[in-house]
Amino acid sequence: MRMMSMIRLFILSLSLILLSVEAVAEKPPLLDLRREFTVFDNILTSAQPTRSEFELAAQKGFKTVINLRSPGEIGSWNERKKIEALGMRYVSIPVSGLDDFNINTLNEINEIVFETAFEAKGFVLIHDSNANRVGALMALEAFFNHDMSVQEAVDIGKKSGMTTLEDYILTLLFDSESSYDDDSDLDAFDDLFME
């Protein structure tokens, strides 16, 4: 129940941000990346881009790259150095285990998207090695912040690259959906905002 209250608090605060982002929201250009997908304004998701694909992203107006790979997965070249040399902002948000699919991770990503859309007037590219984690986070984003059903959210996740994490994300979403129907939890949630 405590987790659901935290999720609802996050959703309320993020919804205020998202209302503001709509003023500068637009679909990013496609770059022909492996497992590329865009459903939410200002965000393009993909598997690991190459150096030349990052160059194309910079040319097409991308201002921020979010890398969800953990430090142990990083390849033979320095992605941060390449991104920054291209004039883009590099952000590492390692998602290395199931516990990383949480409110804090979504909140951090959404803050970066908000900052990039407003301050840098550009797009955000979010990637991991194969887009599985990106897709899982996009499913959570769809459900919690875009009022999509569990099935719609899972479809978004799959289109965004989610594969092996589907069962875990389904469990999270169904658990969250059922707790929305629990009035006692809603009362506790309301208490957070009425104090």
pTM given for the model: 0.79
* 13 in any annotated domain: yes
pLDDT confidence band for 24 (50 / 70 / 90): low
Q: How many domains does the chain have?
A: 1
In a domain, 91, yes or no: yes
Is 33 within 8 Å of 46 (Cβ atoms)?
Answer: yes
Across 79-99, average pLDDT: 94
Model confidence pLDDT, tens digit, residues 99-154: 998 878 888 998 898 888 877 788 999 999 999 999 999 999 999 888 899 999 99
- The burial class, CB within 10 Å (0-12 / 13-18 / 19+), for 115 is middle
- Band of pLDDT at residue 73, cut at 50, 70 and 90: confident
Rounded Cα gap, residues 128 and 130, in angstroms: 6
List the domain range (segments joined by +) for residue 149.
2-180
Look at residue 153 and tell me if it is in a domain: yes
pLDDT at res. 2: 54
pLDDT, mean of residues 164-176: 91
* 177 pLDDT above the threshold of 80: no
Instruction: Read off the pLDDT of residues 145-165 as tens digits, 9 standing for 90 and up.
Output: 888 999 999 999 999 999 999
In a domain, 49, yes or no: yes
CATH of the domain at 38: 3.90.190.10
φ, ψ of residue 138 in degrees (nearest 5)? -70, -35
